[in-house]
């Protein structure tokens, strides 16, 4: 198995151009948390032509709402939420310069195409590993919308945050490619070619 690719934020076009669906990465630098409520606020800012509370250029948004930090910890458990819920609000953020997203699950075909067209990338993080993922966070501070509580935008400083490239800027789709392998594997192994899972 190949070693993970270490990447730093903000993401440059050169870094994004090296990534392919299926690559394992370790992310270092700042990432911003934002879930449904924060996405609605950011999209509304853009719709009104207002300035965003932070510069999205080259940035990575992590779809998470961290739990409160226990004593002595920087942040509480911070696992990925379902990325598809953010699909309707993703294109305007991409047009504003967003280059990376971290979540779990597939994106809609329209969002996948918007990611490709914007020269961006979507990373999949492991669901159910919220405590382990939180251990990669060295610093956490509210960056916008404190009134949203757990859904406030936070700026996290991460080191070696593990993820997989799920959608690359060339149209590569890890979910689609793995489904193909699954179907071929069943067919060739005498499993009757059953393709549902």
For residues 80 and 102, give the distance between their C-alpha atoms in angstroms, rounded to a whole number: 7
**Selected residue with higher pLDDT from 36 and 178:** 36
Catalytic residues: 39
Phi then psi for residue 46, to 5 deg, are -65, -40
| Angle, CA of 102, 14 and 115, to the nearest 5° | 40
The pLDDT score that the predictor gives to residue 197 is 24
**Selected residue with higher pLDDT from 21 and 178:** 21
104-142 per-position pLDDT tens digit:
999 999 999 999 999 999 999 988 888 889 999 999 999
pLDDT surpasses 50 at 194: no
The pLDDT score that the predictor gives to residue 177 is 85
Which two structure tokens, joined as six digits, stand for 189? 């192994």
CATH fold of 5-188: fumarase (3.20.130)
The pLDDT score that the predictor gives to residue 114 is 97
Mean pLDDT of 153-162: 97
For residues 68 and 147, give the distance between their C-alpha atoms in angstroms, rounded to a whole number: 15
7-61 per-position pLDDT tens digit:
999 999 999 999 999 999 999 999 999 999 999 999 999 999 999 999 999 999 9
For residues 141 and 165, give the distance between their C-alpha atoms in angstroms, rounded to a whole number: 26
Calculate the average pLDDT of the chain: 91
88: helix, strand or coil: helix
Q: How far is CA 104 from CA 46, 99, 125, 161, in A?
A: 25, 17, 6, 14
- Find out whether the peptide bond into 185 is cis, omega within 30 degrees of 0: no
Mean pLDDT of 168-174: 96
The pLDDT score that the predictor gives to residue 2 is 82
Q: Are 83 and 62 in contact (CB under 8 A)?
A: no
The pLDDT score that the predictor gives to residue 188 is 44
56-85 per-position pLDDT tens digit:
999 999 999 999 898 989 999 999 999 999
């Amino acid at each position: 198995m190949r070693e993970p690719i270490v990447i730093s934020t903000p993401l440059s076009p050169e870094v994004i151009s090296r990534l392919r669906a299926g690559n394992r990465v370790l992310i270092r630098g700042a990432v911003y948390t934002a879930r449904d409520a924060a996405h609605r606020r950011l999209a509304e800012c853009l719709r009104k032509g207002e300035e965003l509370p932070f510069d999205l250029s080259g940035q990575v948004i992590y779809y998470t709402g961290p739990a409160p930090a226990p004593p002595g910890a920087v942040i509480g458990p911070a696992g990925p939420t379902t990325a598809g819920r953010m699909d309707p609000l993703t294109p305007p953020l991409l047009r504003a310069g967003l280059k990376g997203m971290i979540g779990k699950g597939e994106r809609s075909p329209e969002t996948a195409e918007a990611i490709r067209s914007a020269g961006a990338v979507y990373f999949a993080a492991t669901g159910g590993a919220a405590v382990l993922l939180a251990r990669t966070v060295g610093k956490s501070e509210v960056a916008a919308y404190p009134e949203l509580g757990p859904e406030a935008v936070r700026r996290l400083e991460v080191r070696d945050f593990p993820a997989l490239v799920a959608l690359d800027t060339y149209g590569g789709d890890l979910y689609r490619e793995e489904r193909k392998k699954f179907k071929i594997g069943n067919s060739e192994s005498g499993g009757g070619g059953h393709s549902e899972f």
